[in-house]
Amino acid sequence: MAKKSNFAGAGPSQRMLRVGELIRRSMAEILARGDVHDPDLNRMSITVSEVRVTPDLKIATAYVLPLGGDQKEDALAALARNKGELRRLITKKIALKHSPDLRFILDDTFDRMDETKRLFSSEAVQRDLAPGLDDEA
pLDDT at 134: 54
Residue numbers in the chain where pLDDT is lower than 70: 1-9, 111, 132-137
How far, in whole angstroms, is CA 48 from its chain's centroid? 6
Distance, in Å, from the CA atom of 69 to the CA atom of 115, rounded to the nearest integer, reads: 15
Pairing mode of beta strands 59-66, 101-106: parallel
Query: DSSP 3-state assignment of 64?
Result: strand
pLDDT at 108: 81
The Cα-based distances of 66 to 32, 111, 133 in angstroms read 12, 13, 48
pLDDT at 32: 92
